[in-house]
Chain A
Amino acid sequence: MVKLVIEGLEASVGGKQILRGINLEVSSGQVHAVMGPNGAGKSTLSNVIMGRPGYVATAGSVSLDGTDILSLATWERAQLGLFLAMQYPTEVPGVSIRDTLSLALASRGISSQTVVDRLSDEALAIGLNPELLDRSLNVDLSGGEKKRNETAQLAVLQPSIAILDELDSGLDIDALKACAERIEALTKNELGVLCITHYHRLLDYLPADRVHILVDGKIVESAGPELAVELEAEGYSRFLPDKQDASDGVSVAIGGLSLLKPSLANEDPFADLMA
């Protein structure tokens, strides 16, 4: 049993605070969904956990199986058992999936032939053309191929905790189903999942044990899978801060304009200055 524990995590990007105290625990075999509107900090959360350059944890801690990971290099976090399936997998010209995974697993004493065999099996299972395994990573791949590729790598690397950053963006329903079901199967083998998503769709195939709503850098509600269903119907509006104020703000602005007009028409705009 491995546990990813996030406590009081605050983080900033480019000097701007995005995460404002996140508390979350993901254990082996569990699926936790983090949902929220655009700009809530969902991708920042995944990038901070993995240590992407430019994403700075300013307070709190993240540990995997009791080891503080925030002081580790990205590759050390990966070696420890974390995996990030990226929303926009980076193109790496001239570097193949085979080479990458062989080198990643070499330090665990796994032969490159074993990696190649596993990768071929996984590619087949996920519906990824095996020819792509020798080509440049993510170069000229469709959205669906990129996500199938991320999923195949996840399955080969066998992390203890996987973070899925909008796995469902940019792929059609068949690819979504294939990827989600493969990951769901891995959770039966103790994979823990932190699944960041906008939509309920992904959770149809990868059912969540817990659903967390992230708004403005904080988790504002956590509940069972029914919360995702509710969101699908009602949207995020009830979680948005000062919902009433926000709509007031709009009406005030409009009202302000309409109030301003008559005042301009009826009064000398320079009257105050002249006085």
Chain B
Amino acid sequence: MTNTELTPFNLVEINVADESNAFHKLQYDALQRARALELPSFEEEVWRYTQINDLDLRKYSIGAPGGEIQGRGLTADVVDVAAVLEVVNGKIVSSQVNDPNVSICTALDDENVATGVGSVMTEAVDIFAEYNHALSTSPLVIRIARNSVVAKPIVIRHATSENDFAWFPRVVVIAEENSEATILEHQVSTNVEALICPVTEITAGQSARLKYLTVQELGPRVWQLASQVSDIGRDAHVSVSHVAFGGGYARARIDTRMVGSGATGDIGAVYFGRKDTTLDFRTFQKHDAPHTNSNLLFKGAVDDRSRAIYTGMIRIEPDASDVVAYQTNRNLKLSDEAWVESVPNLEIENNDVKCSHASAVGPVDADQRFYLESRGVPSEVAEALVVRGFFAEVLEDLPIPSVGTKTLERISELLSLEGVSL
């Protein structure tokens, strides 16, 4: 039986009703759900402050034309890897696995794909995640074998170079019991008009240690509507980090759920907005189990006419006692026209918790600048040094040092410090 369905994406029809294929069946169901949803509006709390009403899905075509990776940017120095997967415009163009403890399933008729996709994000967090489920052409289901340490990073490159094109990167990471791995996902594009809706699902089994670093270097005309969900099991430790520079409007919704007793989740971000970029982060730290920790630190700067939005929620469920949860967002506003909104929130249903949230938006610290100037460092250089230092602290802790180094170099360039020998 064959059937076609109309999508809102340039009114493209797709073939979806191959009932013999479990994943296609799930995609068909997801498409029905997605089509029943309205596009969000900035009047909804979780879309407040955004320009989401300007998005018109009909503008974009879909498919998997593939192509070549044009540049590896901040991830260029990550060459010694456990595995590397390169996906261009919805098509996996290269795949290499060097470590026997890493298995990666990509075939749409592979049952691991059907069972993996949607296993953590059991309900799509928004219409874009639902369309991702329905239309993803390149799901990657990565499994780290139990009791194994994968020392070198696993690198995923999601590159976009098609104009007026929408696609749906999907990554599912299953870190089995007592496994350890570091994953780098690079989102990069040429200067195209595109819509990218990535979904990342992470599940960490008992005592697993997983680090997941996302680096976003999208072009200025790209809409990114990303979501990431992590389920952290008993005594497991997951650290998700985001480095974000580009996009016209680049949103990342980040859900981190401490589901097993003793689970720890670290959530970090470094972002730098320039020109007319909007960087939008929505975080949810959800403590379902006792003896769990979460620690969020987001640091950003906005220059030119760029905008940054941070809204965060810590939620402690009634059964989650002995919880420690922190949420900190600090922003530097480097120009008068730049704009930042930072809204931290707490919802606590248990008394035995230690929580704090803090947010700050302001210019470069005058005392710090004065201190440097009083040594003879010219004003503009002093200001740039303080901004660079503001990020250096966090970048030192990135799970892949070369990305931290390159990111700091990029920030130095943006601050016109590149000629300065440090």
Contact = CB atoms under 8 A, between A and B. Distances in A.
A78 B375 CA distance: 6
Contacts of A107: 376, 378
B101 to A, nearest CB: 36
Contact of B376 (A78, A89, A99): A78
Contacts of B372: 92, 95, 100
A83 B370 CA distance: 12
B386 A92 contact: yes
A75 B389 contact: no
Interface string B376-394: 1111011001101111110
Interface in A63-121: 73-75, 78-79, 83-84, 86, 89-95, 99-107, 112
B368 interface: yes
Interface string A1-30: 000000000000000000000000000000
Contact of A153 (B375, B379, B391): B375
Contacts of A89: 371
A262 interface: no
B36 interface: no
Contacts of A92: 368, 371-372, 385-386, 389
A90 B376 contact: no
Interface string A136-158: 11000000000000000100010
B375 A157 contact: yes
A105 B385 contact: no
A219 interface: no
A86 B393 CA distance: 24
A82 B391 CA distance: 30
A100 B368 contact: no
A105 B368 CA distance: 18
A53 interface: yes
B389 A100 contact: no
B1 interface: no
Given A52-B370, A74-B370, A103-B420, A93 B393 contact: yes
Given A50-B374, A99-B385, A75 B379 contact: yes
A94 B392 contact: yes
B29 interface: no
Nearest to B389: A94
B288 to A, nearest CB: 34
A68 B390 CA distance: 34
Nearest to B392: A94
B366 interface: yes
A42 to B, nearest CB: 17
Interface in B332-382: 366-368, 370-379, 381-382
Interface of A: 50, 52-53, 73-75, 78-79, 83-84, 86, 89-95, 99-107, 112, 136-137, 153, 157
Given A75-B374, A86-B374, A104-B377, 9 more contacts: A74-B373, A78-B375, A78-B376, A83-B374, A92-B385, A92-B389, A95-B372, A103-B385, A153-B375
6 contacts: A75-B382, A83-B375, A93-B389, A100-B377, A101-B375, A153-B375
